[in-house]
Every structure is written in C-alpha cells, then in structure tokens.
Structure 1
Amino acid sequence: MFSTTLLPAAAIAVLFISIIVYTSPCASFGTGGFSVRLIHRDSPRSPLYDPNLTAADRTTAAVRRSISRLNYFESLMSSPMEIAPKLTPDDGEYLMFFQLGTPPVPVYAIVDTGSDLTWLQCLPCKTCYNQTQPLFDPSKSSTYKKVPCSSPSCAALEVKECTEDTKSCYYDLVYGDGTSTMGILSGDTLTFEDRFRNNVTFPNITFGCSDSTYGTFEKNQGGIVGLNRNPFSLISQLEVKQFSHCMVPPDQDDSGSRMQFGSNAVISGDMTPLAFESTYNYYLILEGISVGNDKLPIPEGIFNLTKDFEGGFIIDSGTTYTLLRREAFLVLVDALGEKIHLQQKADPSNRFPLCFVAASFDELASAPVITFHFKGADVVFPQQSTYTKAFDWLWCLAMLPSNDISILGNFQQQNFHVGFDISKKLVSFAASDCAAF
C-alpha cells in the first residue's frame, strides 16, 4: 500500500504570485477592479527559474510542496486559536512583484494565503537574511509612516510591544518552526503598474518593516504578502469582496494565467457555499466523487470538518496536487485502475501511487473523467487536469493521499475560472480556456 510521509514543519510551502496589474481605461479600482498576471515559479520569466532542473525534478518538487502545504494546514488547524500560523516560508508556486514607497521601490515577496501581516526587510536591519534585491529604506520614502502605539492598527495586532523611545508599534511574529520576523508596524503607498506603464497606487497600506529576521529564506524573496481574510491582509486592507483566478496548464505558455479582483472577478458557473468561517482557509462541502457515471462508495461525511477542527476540504491555489483523505483516495485509485485499460507501473520515484504506461497523453483521452460533487456544484475535471507526466513513458494520477485534511490543488483548478465571493460566501467554478481569456 502506498504511504505518504509527512515532511517536517520546516518544509511548509506557501503561494507565490508574480503580478502585473491591468485596469480598464476609465475605471478606478472601486468601480472597475483590477487584474494580475500569474507567472509560475518554474517559468523562464520567474526569478526562481532553474534551467538545470528536468521535468521529473520539477514534478518531484511539486509533490514535496503539496505535502508541505498539507502539513501547514494540519498544523494551523491543530491550534486554531493561535495568533501566528505555523508557517515556514518555503519554495512555492508564484512570486508577487510590486513597488513600495515614494518614489516607488521594486519588491519581490512571497504571497501566502495563510498569513495576514505583509512584511519585508528594511534598513537599518539588525539581523537580516541575505537577499538579492536591496532592502527597503524607509528614510527615502516621503510617504512612509510608523504606526504609533495609540493607533487602532497597533491595538489590533495582538503580537506586539511598544518601544519606549519612539512610541512606535513593534511587532514580533514567531512561526511554528522558530522562524520569526520583528520590526516596526508601518504604512506606505503600494504601487502596481498597468500594461501602459501607468501606476495604480494604494496609499496607507499597513505592513511590517522588519529589522530582525530569523529562519531560512531564498535570496530572491523579499518578505511575505498576507492574503487571508484577517484584518492586516492585503485583501482586507483593499476591501476586496470578490476575486477569481484562471490558471493555464503548465505545458502551455503561462502568460495567460490571471487573477482578478473586485468587479473584474469572474463569479459564474456552478456555485458552492463556503462551509466554515475560517479567515485562514476556504472550506468547501465535498459530498462525493464519481468516476465516469459511477459514484464511488466513499463513506458519508469523510470530507467533513469536525468540531475539533479535524478533516475538512479546502480549496487552495498554493497547493499543486489535490490531496484526499486516504479512505477516499484508495477507493478512487481502485476505480481508475479497473476502468483504465492501460498497463499499470509503479512510479520509480515513489511520488504517485497510480501510474500508467503510455507513449503519449492521447492514450489517456478515453479515460473516464473524475467529478467532484460539491454541495450545489458538480465539477468535472478533464484528463489534462487529472494526470501528469512523470517520465517520458509514464503518466500518473496527479493526486495524493492525506491522513486528515483534503485539499483541492491548483493542478486540478487549471482551465477553470474559480471565483470567490466573500460577501455571499460562495465559490464558483466555470470551465474555460484560460490561455484565450
């Protein structure tokens, strides 16, 4: 029987986004919204791109990141009342590019859907990791401000202290593995750039100006951008009530991948309610799974979230491959093994539990589709979003088993407009050719 060994807490993954903002010519954010372009970390456009990695190397890394992300959610929900999530910044999927301050200074930072406070390393820095890009110098920004201790923002930040010399709000966040960031809670102007090189600015964005950082970070990373629904997250500060994304499959030109915010968000297709009021995660109600026309004999309630915060089904754009509760996963593997009449072969790298020998992907074209039956929404995943190429002759089910939480990964979300309506507490799915969008 295939088993997945959970990685240690130091291997937890996060989401990365590379952003280019698009606005309609006559619309501000308040009326027209804005869109961003997503660039995969393995794209030649990414600063994390390593041309020496093979396709098998990248697949192995994606498996590791998926299991790491699972670790993150399980550790987070094991202590749901803690202020700081148990997170270690690690290799992820996308990077975010933005500019900060006046005049604007370019920044690349990790985007994490499980964090709230955005922070980056600033001068003067007492203890900082060695990053490629220059550290942000607040003394050179005319719009930079320190958040005073008397501010409501400081009062809302529970992990803090006030410095006696300046009366500034000094934050101190310690993550589950001992990684930490400390510094001055600050405010400044956040700037994006549209396709015509026009600036789209958001003033007075609160962030952490870190002067002490401990832990393992990559030199291309400049900090963390929080995108959960807690008060300090970028989504909350921009008062975004709707957002969506459309991801192009990785074997195509990923320049068409986009995320839309505000009125630009695509909320259409089948809709399913958010199941749990978590500001860290988006929980859905998965009622069953079908292979072809046959609904699988999966125990009822296997994907439910318990009162002790165990289990549940999360949709997450930061996880690559979908993870399913082992009891359901094994039923799915058995059903596919019976219905797909191709030679099965074990994955030599022991990454995936179900693999088929095929000269090309076309041999899987007749394989039965997998349908996830969410409450109110049946989402059918095409073969391109179901199987991944492990080697030249081997194609594998792009899903993994989990001992607790189940997660819908971004590989399965490809070529769907996935929309999040926070005010109506809905998530929508609409099949689409994301490259043509």
Structure 2
Amino acid sequence: MVSTTLLPAAIAILFISIIVYTSPCASFNAETGGTDGFSVRLMHRDSPQSPLYDPTLTVADRSSAAVRRSISRLNYFESVMSSSPMEIAPKLTPGTGEYLMFFHLGTPPAPVYAIADTGSHLTWIQCLPCKSCYNQTQPIFDPSKSSTYEKVPCSSPACGALQVERCTVDTKSCYYDVVYGDGSVTMGVLSGDTLTFEDPFRNNVTFRNVAFGCSDDTSGLYERDQGGVVGLDRNPFSLISQLSVKQFSYCMVPPNQDDSGSRMQFGSNAVISGDMTPLASESTAYYYLTLEGISVGNDKLPIPDGIFSLTQDSKGGFVIDSGATYTMLRVEAFLPLVDALGEKIKLQKKDDPRNRFELCFVAGSFDELASAPVITFHFKDADIVLPQQNTYTKAFDWLWCLAMLPSLHISILGNFQQQNFHVGYDISKKLVSFAASDCAAF
C-alpha cells in the first residue's frame, strides 16, 4: 500500500504571490548590459557552502525535510491546476526550493541568495525596513542604500496588472498586500533595480531596471532562512522574459559533492545538447513534457495510457521542475515501478521507519545497489536513463530508498533526478534537452 502520509492531502503548505506584468513599453523593462550570454552560480541548500546549511541535521533529518518540500511543491502545483484563471493569479510562488541562485542587487551591489525556480513567475526578496520579516541568514536588502533603486509608480502598466494592489498616499508607489490561503501574508512595494551576475571569470554582467517584489512584511509558514525566489518560467513577467532570454540551462551538482560547480547558463552560454524532447504545451508558462512510458531494465512498465497527459483544462501532465526535490509519479505508474524494482533487486527490503519512502533496501554502502536495473524515462523523441545515484537516496546510514514519491494527479520530474545532467531549455524551439555530465567538473 502507498503510505497516505505521502499523498498530496497530507501536507498543504500553499504559498501565494502576486503576478507582475512588465509590458514592452513599461519603464521597468530590464536593459541588458551588452552581452548575449552569461552564467550564474547555483548552490544546493544542503551544501556546506550554502547560507541555509545546518550542520546539526542528520542524514535522516535532511531526507525528511526534502520529502516535506517535495510534497509541499506537489501541493503547490495541484492548487494551481485546480484553480480557475482568476484564482491562479495569487498562487504563483511556492515557498520551497533546493538550488539557490547567487547574484547582486542594487548600486552598490548587495549579495543575494534566492531560490532558482522554473515553476515561478515573480522574482521577490525581503527588504528593509521590515515591518515583519522572517529570519534569513543573509543580510536583508536595504533599498535606501541603492542609488539605482526605484519604486514602480501607480501609473505603470506593471502596477495596473496587479490583481490585488493599492497605492500609498505619500509616495504613489505600487504596494501589494495579500493574505494567503494558508494564513501567510506578504506585503511589499513593486520595485525596479540593477541586477548583477558574476560570470565564471568574475566579470560582472549587469541588467538595469529589473522589476521585482520588495517585501517588507512577510509572516506565516515561509521557509526559515529563505532569501527570496527567482522566477524562471515562461510567463511574461518572469526573469527569463524580462531579460528576453531564449535559451537557458543548468547543471546541478549533488549536495554531497563540491557545490562550486553548479551553474545556470543563459543565452548563448546555454548548453542545448544530448537527447531533446518537445515541450508538451504552449498554453501554460510551466515546462510540461510528454512522458510516454517508463522501463525497469529491459521491461516496460504496465502503465495505463494517458496517465501523464496534460488535459485540455490544464490538469495532470508531467512537468519538469527545478524547485521540487524528488520526482513525483501518478500512483498508476508509481505502484508498478515499486513492484518491478522490489522484484528485481535482491537486497533485503525494509520499511522506512519514518514512513517517508515506499521502497527501501538495507545496504552497507551505495555500491550494493550498483547492479540494480536502471530506470529509463521514455519521453517523446528522447530516452533518459537515470543513473543509480539519481534513483536512490540515503534515508539512514544503513537504508537506501527509491527517491520518488506518489501523486494523485500531476507528475513532476524533480531536481534529484536532474543532477549531473545538463538540462537545457530552448524557449524559441520549444524543447528541453538532457545530456549526462559531471556537473562538478563543468
């Protein structure tokens, strides 16, 4: 039986944000710094170099936290897909994520670590002076110290596109104020400032007048120490759209390796190579793929037709997401996968004491799983073979578990399964590419 603690209803931590639209004629369009390609450093939240790293957590603690974040992420997508178009607007930024993007904001540049999120629209960070801010390790951004900071005026098209908004009497700036479905609250000023990335050679790549949410009142169930979110979906108001980026890619280093190698590449620097599969939908900002089947070894799983299809009303489907940890599969596919692996792998099976994972094996080391049959995801025009390191996670020092979870409706390819792949997004050609790589050496 699939543990009910892993199903979407188990943990409902739904975070909501404001959609921002920056029209081509708005004064808060990003202006490029004269480059057609650049890269950004990424860092896993559990890397010792991360500002979110907690050395007191055990392997089991980190695994449990990753499961909670995955389920929260699943609930976020489920909530978006179950909403009508009018209800979707205030539900577009989840509060969890795995890989942090490092950049500078303002003049002089202030360092910022924020979640890199292909499933989110608005880029937002916490700002001083705080009326109420949640704890974060890094200093909170102080807009008064930036000579290039501006508040978006009420007359701006970006402000007019806010579905929940008000303008302050004293400054006429665009101020958003939202009470979330889970009781969380975020309030702040829609703003614009200079965004600076550092390339691998420590050269600065600068973009001016990038619109973002400057939150000065944030309370509720937000992730402790999270500095903000960088929206990377296909929506017109994401960072990708503001910078007019047509291609981007990332290569994610697992947290137990030297994380300095993780990078996200934009524009001409993007790595679009290897197996390529088309995006499944042009009607949504999210990156949906067509998954046609799953194999264990040479045996294709008996999965009912249409399990991974995106319906006409944008329900279900299979989405690739940088913010989710573990892959989530519809139970109609998850159960046959668990059965096939349990039958083919001859190691001792044991229930997860914390009831997080469905299939676990007793092993003194990861090497004992080396002979396990590989899992292949059969996407349209592309077969992606998952290495064992992308398939099993250490739940305890003596227990290794299948790093996938069940879902009722939507399926998600999580970042655990994307590690050590160059994953490329070609927005103009509407495809996603996968090329196996040692990301730490890149």
Q: TM-score, normalised by structure 1?
A: 0.89
Residue matched to 1:225: 230
Distance 1:368 1:180, change over 3 A: same
- The equivalent residue for 1:99 is 104
Within 5 A, what are the aligned runs for 1:78-89? 78-81=82-85, 82-85=88-91, 87-89=93-95
Q: Work out whether residues 185 and 208 of structure 1, in 8 Å CA contact, stay in contact via their aligned partners in 2.
A: yes
- 1:88–1:176: 8 Å Cα contact kept in structure 2? no
Q: Which residue of 387, 396, 415 maps to 1:391? A: 396
1:17 matched to which residue of 2?
Answer: none
Question: Aligned match of 1:216 in 221, 224, 241?
Answer: 221
Q: 1:117 aligns with which of 114, 117, 122?
A: 122
Give the counterpart letter for 2:12 in structure 1: A
Moved more, 281-290 or 141-150: 141-150
Distance 1:399-1:126 versus aligned 2 partners, 3 A rule: closer
Percent identity, aligned pairs only, is 78
Q: Secondary structure at the match of 1:264?
A: coil
Aligned to 1:371: 376
- Tell me if the contact between 2:39 and 2:199 (Cα under 8 Å) persists in the aligned partners: no
Asked if 1:38 is matched to 2:42, the reply is: yes
Aligned residues: 423
Q: Where do 4+ consecutive residues of structure 1 move more than 6 Å?
A: 11-14
- In the alignment, what sits opposite 1:47? 51
Q: Is the 8 A contact 1:100 1:188 kept in 2?
A: yes
1:266 maps onto 2:243 in alignment: no
Which stretch of the first structure deviates more once superposed, 147-156 or 51-60?
147-156
SS of corresponding position for 2:268: helix
Distance 1:13 1:362 in 2: 42
Structure 2 unmatched runs, 5+: 18-31
Distance 1:394 1:214, change over 3 A: closer
Is the contact made by 2:14 and 2:182 (CA closer than 8 Å) also made in structure 1? no
Q: Write the letter of the residue equivalent to 2:246.
A: K
The residue number in structure 2 matching 1:23 is: none
Post-superposition offset of 1:310 = 2.5
Q: Structure 1: how far apart are the matches of 2:370 and 2:168?
A: 63
3-state DSSP of counterpart to 1:302: coil
Q: 1:329 to 1:13 in 2, by over 3 A?
A: farther
Alpha-carbon RMSD across the aligned residues, in angstroms, is 2.4
Partner of 1:22 in structure 2? none
If the length of structure 2 is used for normalisation, what is the TM-score? 0.88
| Change over 3 Å in CA distance of 1:133–1:317 after alignment to 2 | closer
Q: Which amino acid letter does the alignment assign opposite residue 85 of structure 1?
A: K
- Work out which of the residue numbers 392, 402, 408 in structure 1 matches 2:407: 402
Q: Which of structures 1 and 2 has the larger relative contact order (alpha carbons within 8 angstroms, sep 6+)?
A: 2
Q: How far apart are 1:339 and its partner, in Å?
A: 1.6
SS of the aligned residue for 2:62 comes to helix
Indicate the residue corresponding to 1:316 in structure 2: 321
Cα gap change, 1:238 to 1:80, in 2 (>3 Å): farther
Q: 5+ residue gaps in structure 1?
A: 15-27
1:192 to 186, 194, 197: 197
Q: Distance in 2 between matches of 1:372 and 1:61?
A: 26
Q: Deviations over 1:83-111 (max 9, x none)?
A: 12165524x31223322221222233344
Which residues of 2 match residues 129-208 of structure 1 at below 5 A?
129-195=134-200, 197-208=202-213
